[in-house]
C-alpha cells in the first residue's frame, strides 16, 4: 500500500533577474525582468508503508523542494500528491499531526531555552496526552542519550546534541511519515554514526515511512535499500542501491599484491593506475574486460593476493549525477524546443 503517491508534480519559481550597474538597477525599479526556474518537473513516485527511501541528487536538483511540497510548506505549480490520503498543501490539522519534517540546516528549537521547554511547547501544539508525552520523551532521549542535557540551553549544546534534540522534537507526536532533509549535515563521524543507528532502530521499531535526503553516502548505505535519484527536477533512477552500481559504474577496482618483490613496469596496460604502494597496486579496470585482465595478470606475474571490488559508492553517485544531469539537460532542451514549435 502506497503511503506517498505523487503524479506529475511540478514547481516553478519566478525569479527576478537583477542587472549590474546603477543605471540598470534604477531601470529595474520600473521594468523588471524575470526568469522561470523549474525546480520540480513532473515527477511520479510511490512510497510504500514502512519504506526507508533515499532521495538523492546534486545541489539544486529539486530534493528539498519536493519535501517542502509533501510537507505542505509550499504549493505546487501543477500535479497531484497524496500522503496518507491527505493533500499536503491543504494543510489540514489531521495531516500535520501525522507527519514530521526535519531540516538539518533549519532550527525548530528555541535557541536560548532548554530543549525541554521547546518539547513542552510541542506537547501543547500537538495536544499530546501528558502521560504519553512523558513516556515518548523518555524513550527518545534515552535512545539518543541526551537526557542529561535536556535542561541545558540549546545554544550551549554541540552540533550533534542539537540534531538529536531536533529529532526528538520531530518524533514527540509519533508521526507515521518522516521527511529528513540532510539530518547529518556538518556532523562529525561519531555523531553521524549515532544518528544512523538511532534512525535504523527507530524505523524498524515503529515502521515509520521515511524519505531521506543526504549527501553522505554512508547514511544511504547504512539506512536505505531503495534509492531515488532526482536531477534538474526529474527522477532519473528509482531502484536498489546495488542496482546503481550495476547500471552506472563502468569499472571495477582491481587490487594486486605482487610476490617476490616483483612490481611490473607495464601495469598501465591492464588499466588505469589508481595507487601504487610496493608491492601492492590498485587499478581501475573496465567491467567488460575484467576477466581477461585477471587471466593475463595471473599468467604473467606472481600474485600473492588479489581482490576485485566495486568502486566507492561516492564515486559511483558522482558518475550518476554527471550522467543523469546531462540526460536531464537534453530532455529539457528537447521539451523547450518542442514548446517553441507548438507556440510558433
Are residues 165 and 214 part of one domain? Answer: yes
Domain boundary pick from 229, 245, 261: 245
Q: What is the CATH number of the domain that holds 51?
A: 3.40.50.300
* pLDDT tens readout for residues 50-94: 999 999 988 888 999 999 999 999 999 999 999 999 999 999 999
Distance, CA of 249 to chain centre: 19
The strands making up 2-16's β-sheet, listed across from edge to edge, are: 34-48, 2-16, 78-83
Q: CA angle, 164 as apex, 161 and 168 as ends, to 5°? A: 140
Q: Residue 40 and residue 12: Cα distance in Å, rounded?
A: 7
Give backbone dihedrals phi and psi of 224, rounded to 5 degrees, phi first: -120, 135
Task: State residue 106's pLDDT score.
Answer: 79
Is 64 inside a domain boundary?
Answer: yes
Q: What is the CATH number of the domain that holds 266?
A: 3.30.70
pTM listed for this prediction: 0.82
Is 173 inside a domain boundary?
Answer: yes
Is 102 inside a domain boundary?
Answer: yes
Q: Regarding beta strands 280-286 and 272-277, do their DSSP bridges make them parallel or antiparallel, or are they unpaired? A: antiparallel
Are residues 224 and 120 part of one domain? Answer: yes
Task: State residue 324's pLDDT score.
Answer: 67
DSSP state of 18: P
Give one DSSP letter per residue of 243-297, joined into a string: HHHHHH--EEEEEEEESTT---TTGGGTSEEEEEETTEEEEEEEGGGHHHHHHHH
Cβ atoms 7, 43 nearer than 8 A? no
Are residues 207 and 177 part of one domain? Answer: yes
* pLDDT tens readout for residues 111-139: 899 999 999 999 999 999 999 999 999 99
Cβ atoms 36, 14 nearer than 8 A? yes
Are residues 220 and 72 part of one domain? Answer: yes
Give one DSSP letter per residue of 140-201, joined into a string: HHHHTT-GGGTTSBGGGS-HHHHHHHHHHHHHTT--SEEEEESTTTT--HHHHHHHHHHHHH
User: Residue 301's domain spans which residues?
Assistant: 250-309
Task: State residue 307's pLDDT score.
Answer: 93
Tell me the Cα Rg of the chain: 25
Kindly give the parts of the chain with pLDDT less than 50. Answer: 335-344
Task: State residue 333's pLDDT score.
Answer: 52
Q: What residues are paired with 46 via a beta bridge?
A: 5
Q: Report the first-to-last Cα separation within the chain, whole angstroms.
A: 45
Task: State residue 47's pLDDT score.
Answer: 97
Q: Regarding beta strands 177-181 and 209-213, do their DSSP bridges make them parallel or antiparallel, or are they unpaired? A: parallel
Task: State residue 339's pLDDT score.
Answer: 39
Task: State residue 335's pLDDT score.
Answer: 47
Amino acid at each position: 500500500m502506497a503511503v506517498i503517491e505523487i503524479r506529475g508534480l511540478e514547481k516553478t519559481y519566478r525569479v527576478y533577474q537583477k542587472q549590474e550597474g546603477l543605471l540598470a538597477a534604477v531601470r529595474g525599479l520600473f521594468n523588471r525582468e524575470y526568469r522561470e526556474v523549474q525546480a520540480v518537473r513532473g515527477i511520479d513516485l510511490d512510497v510504500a508503508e514502512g519504506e526507508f527511501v533515499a532521495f538523492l541528487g546534486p545541489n539544486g536538483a529539486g530534493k528539498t523542494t519536493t519535501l517542502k511540497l509533501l510537507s505542505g510548506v509550499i504549493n505546487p505549480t501543477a500535479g497531484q500528491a497524496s500522503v496518507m490520503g491527505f493533500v499536503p498543501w491543504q494543510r489540514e490539522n489531521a495531516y500535520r499531526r501525522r507527519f514530521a519534517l526535519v531540516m538539518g540546516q533549519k532550527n525548530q528549537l528555541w535557541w536560548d531555552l532548554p530543549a525541554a521547554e521547546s518539547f513542552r511547547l510541542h506537547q501543547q501544539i500537538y495536544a499530546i496526552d501528558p502521560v504519553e508525552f512523558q513516556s515518548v520523551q523518555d524513550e527518545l532521549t534515552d535512545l539518543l542519550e541526551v537526557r542529561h542535557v535536556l535542561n541545558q540551553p540549546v545554544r550551549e549544546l554541540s552540533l550533534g546534541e542539537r540534531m538529536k534534540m531536533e529529532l526528538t522534537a520531530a518524533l514527540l507526536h509519533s508521526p507515521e511519515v518522516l521527511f529528513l532533509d540532510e539530518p547529518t549535515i556538518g556532523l562529525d563521524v561519531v555523531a553521524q554514526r549515532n544518528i544512523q543507528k538511532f534512525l535504523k532502530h527507530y524505523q524498524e521499531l515503529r515502521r515509520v515511512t521515511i524519505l531521506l535526503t543526504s549527501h553522505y553516502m554512508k547514511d544511504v548505505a547504512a539506512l536505505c535499500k531503495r534509492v531515488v535519484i532526482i536531477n534538474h527536477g526529474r527522477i532519473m533512477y528509482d531502484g536498489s542501491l546495488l542496482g546503481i552500481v550495476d547500471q552506472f559504474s563502468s569499472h571495477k577496482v582491481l587490487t594486486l599484491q605482487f610476490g617476490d618483490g616483483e612490481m611490473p613496469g607495464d601495469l598501465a596496460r591492464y588499466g588505469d593506475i589508481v595507487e601504487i604502494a610496493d608491492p601492492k597496486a590498485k587499478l581501475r579496470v573496465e567491467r567488460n574486460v575484467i576477466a581477461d585482465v585477471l587471466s593475463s595478470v595471473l599468467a604473467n606475474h606472481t600474485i600473492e593476493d588479489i581482490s576485485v571490488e566495486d568502486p566507492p559508492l561516492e564515486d559511483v553517485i558522482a558518475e550518476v549525477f554527471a550522467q543523469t544531469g546531462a540526460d536531464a539537460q537534453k530532455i529539457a532542451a528537447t521539451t523547450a524546443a518542442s514548446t517553441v514549435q507548438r507556440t510558433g
